[in-house]
Amino acid sequence: MTRIIRQAALPWLLGGVGILTLLLFWWAWLGPLDGLGRLGNLFTPQATLASLTELLRRAELYEHIAASLQRVLVGLGLALLLGIPLGLLVGASHYVEWATTPVFQFLRMISPLSWMPIAVMVLGVGNKPIYFLLAFAAVWPILLNTASGVKQLDPRWLQLTRSLSATRRELLFQVILPGIFGNILTGVRLAIGILWIILVPCEMLGVSSGLGYYILDTRDRLAYSELMAMVVLIGFLGFFLDALARIAYRRWAKG
Amino acid sequence: MTSPVLEANNLMLGYADGAGWNPVLEDFSTSLQAGEIVTVLGPSGVGKSSLLRVLGGLQSPQRGDVTLFNQPHKKPHPRVAVAFQDPCLLPWLNLEQNVGFGLNFASQPVHSTAQRKEKVAHALEAVGLTHARRRYPKELSGGMAQRTALARCLAREPSVLLLDEPFGALDEVTRGEMQALLIDIVKARHTAVLLITHDIDEALQLSQRVLLLGGAPATTLNEWSIDLPYPRDDHIEALGLLRIDILKTLRHSSRKVTNDLIKGDLACA
């Protein structure tokens, strides 16, 4: 029993050691930066923690977090709306797969941020270009995982469903979609990681809310300890979102 | 004699070989009456499972045709239930949901949710799995999974039940119980059953008719009618004689196939 507890606790313990080592490196790295004088002190873990505690008391911070999370959700929603049907088509038909693979691989390899000027020109400043860029970044893992899920579907499930005289709609909603749900969740988890990375630079352009905007704001105010606090917070929130996606996968991806 | 529920006429099954078809099973014909259990017996590789798919409307024969209630039968029909060799349970549904799977499909007779639940409950009770109804497939033993697959067929109350070695993974006791259950269902609901197996004893215990497939390409080597009451434990002698006759026919056929192959090899040399 003790051994089981020890085995279960070990990953957490080692994870904690990893975080502490990171903090130690952070702290040790700023030591030799004496040349920065008082400025250097603003980047230390101690100053960052103090600013973070102070920031967490401000309602303003939560408004920025809410704005960012809303953009992630809209981006993810659009990516799901587009990625799942396309993925189903690609997975179900070799012809569609052959016709679309080069296009998708070409588009996928273009950094979504490189569309930013065009997105702003076409959609104007505000949330719309951000939604577009986020959806464009998140659609690929969802599309490709959905397609691969369809290709890996157990042919016996399809045979069983046919033997029960299912319509196409029944086949789609009662077998295919539940059967590839785990793949879709894997796509969502990957998409969330990408969305969170793309979000911050996206919010540095043409909006006055969100975590990316707030980073620029702290820089303009020369509030460097707040800037570091925001960097840490972005990391924490990303970690939390990924953990949620992992929990969802474990909870719902039966098989 | 009433008209057959299901009828197969001169079926030929095979696989594509260059420009034509390489036959696996040839000239298969049979008919299935309501309340009758017919067993198709034969060694592996004679196309038994493909034959079952053709009779279930899941696959087209290379030649011949199948009729259901005197109508051409070319696609799955709601009155025909198929239990495959593999239980084929859906992993995201629990046992109860697996048994009820398909009952709400548009092709099925319309039933209220309460009626569907009742059908599932009855089917689960019949196969003795009521206690495990909330379990998921990965929590079931092989035998329980097979019984669930059978319950899924029973819940639909089909007119024709096509079974592909459904008791293969069961232990002796459960197998006996399931065979008795099948006989009860046929008696109570007048279901026509076609059972595919390679187990001679199972065929003798259950069927009113046994069709033996063999040879290369396979054909119906012989057909036996068994007019004995159930349960047949008291008729061991009669069944034993039939068993010997079936084995003899099978051995004679496989010897002939081997001789033909040797002759073919010699001719090539």
Dump pLDDT digits (tens) for A123-150. 988 899 999 999 999 999 999 999 999 9
Do residue B129 and residue B189 come from a single domain?
A: no
From chain A, the residues in CB contact with B166 under 8 A are none
d(CA B2, nearest CA chain A) in Å: 27
In this structure, is residue B95 part of a structural domain?
Answer: yes
Domain endpoint, select from B157, B178, B198: B157
In this structure, is residue A44 part of a structural domain?
Answer: no
- What is the number of domains present in chain A? 1
Do residue B73 and residue B194 come from a single domain?
A: yes
What pLDDT was estimated at residue A100? 93
In this structure, is residue B66 part of a structural domain?
Answer: yes
d(CA A166, nearest CA chain B) in Å: 6
CATH of the domain at A221: 1.10.3720.10
Predicted confidence (pLDDT) per residue in B186-216, tens digit: 888 899 999 998 888 889 999 999 999 888 7
pLDDT band for A178, please (50, 70, 90 cuts): very high
Do residue B191 and residue B252 come from a single domain?
A: yes
Best interface-test mutation with A: which of B90, B98, B104, B152 has the largest number of A CBs within 10 A? Answer: B90
CB pairs under 8 A between A and B: 55
Do residue B179 and residue B236 come from a single domain?
A: yes
Do residue B28 and residue B150 come from a single domain?
A: no
In this structure, is residue B85 part of a structural domain?
Answer: no
- Single-letter amino acid, residue A3: R
A156–B84 C-beta distance less than 8 A:
yes
- C-alpha closest to that of B254 among B42, B12, B27, B10: B42
What pLDDT was estimated at residue B176? 85
From chain B, the residues in CB contact with A160 under 8 A are 84, 88, 90
Phi, psi dihedrals of residue B15, rounded to the nearest 5°: -125, 155
From chain B, the residues in CB contact with A156 under 8 A are 84, 86, 88
Do residue B62 and residue B174 come from a single domain?
A: yes
Do residue B152 and residue B164 come from a single domain?
A: no
Indicate if the alpha-carbon torsion angle A60, A62, A63, A64 is positive or negative.
positive
Best interface-test mutation with B: which of A153, A157, A165 has the largest number of B CBs within 10 A? Answer: A165
- Provide the mean pLDDT of chain A: 89
In this structure, is residue A6 part of a structural domain?
Answer: no
- More reliable by pLDDT, B93 or A37: B93
**Predicted structure pTM score:** 0.81
Do residue B43 and residue B117 come from a single domain?
A: no
In this structure, is residue A81 part of a structural domain?
Answer: yes
In this structure, is residue A24 part of a structural domain?
Answer: no
What pLDDT was estimated at residue B258? 65
d(CA A192, nearest CA chain B) in Å: 24
Domain that holds residue B165: 6-79+160-268
d(CA A88, nearest CA chain B) in Å: 19
- What is the number of domains present in chain B? 2
- Cα–Cα dist B242/B1, whole Å: 25
What pLDDT was estimated at residue B21? 77
Domain that holds residue A248: 50-252
Do residue B202 and residue B249 come from a single domain?
A: yes
In this structure, is residue B29 part of a structural domain?
Answer: yes
The lowest-confidence range among A209-223, B18-32, B110-124 is: B18-32
Domain endpoint, select from B116, B142, B157: B157
- More reliable by pLDDT, A33 or B111: B111
CB B134 within 8 A of CB B126: no
- Evaluate if residue B269 carries a pLDDT over 60: no
Phi, psi dihedrals of residue B146, rounded to the nearest 5°: -65, -40
**Per CB distance under 8 Å, which residues of B are interface residues toward A?**
56, 58, 75-78, 81-82, 84, 86, 88, 90-92, 101-102, 105-108, 136, 156
- Cα–Cα dist B193/B154, whole Å: 12
d(CA A176, nearest CA chain B) in Å: 11
Do residue B12 and residue B74 come from a single domain?
A: yes
DSSP summary character for residue B131: G
From chain A, the residues in CB contact with B108 under 8 A are 164-165
- Measured from the Cβ of residue A250, the count of other Cβ atoms closer than 10 Å reads 10
- Identify any residues that bridge with B218 across adjacent strands, giving them in sequence order: B25
In this structure, is residue B50 part of a structural domain?
Answer: yes
In this structure, is residue B175 part of a structural domain?
Answer: yes
Do residue B150 and residue B172 come from a single domain?
A: no
Query: Counting every residue, how long is chain B?
Result: 269
B75–A166 C-beta distance less than 8 A:
no
In this structure, is residue B189 part of a structural domain?
Answer: yes
CB-nearest to B78 from A159, A165, A179 is A165
> What ipTM does this complex have?
0.83
Tokens of B111: 């039933």
CB-nearest to B56 from A157, A163, A178 is A163
Do residue B35 and residue B53 come from a single domain?
A: yes
A164–B101 C-beta distance less than 8 A:
yes
Phi, psi dihedrals of residue B197, rounded to the nearest 5°: -155, 165
DSSP summary character for residue B2: P
What pLDDT was estimated at residue B264? 60
What pLDDT was estimated at residue A80? 97
Percent of chain A with pLDDT over 90: 63
In this structure, is residue A163 part of a structural domain?
Answer: yes
In this structure, is residue B232 part of a structural domain?
Answer: yes
Domain endpoint, select from B135, B157, B179: B157
Closest A-chain CA to B85: A156
In this structure, is residue A54 part of a structural domain?
Answer: yes
Predicted confidence (pLDDT) per residue in B34-81, tens digit: 999 999 988 887 888 889 999 999 989 989 999 999 999 999 999 999
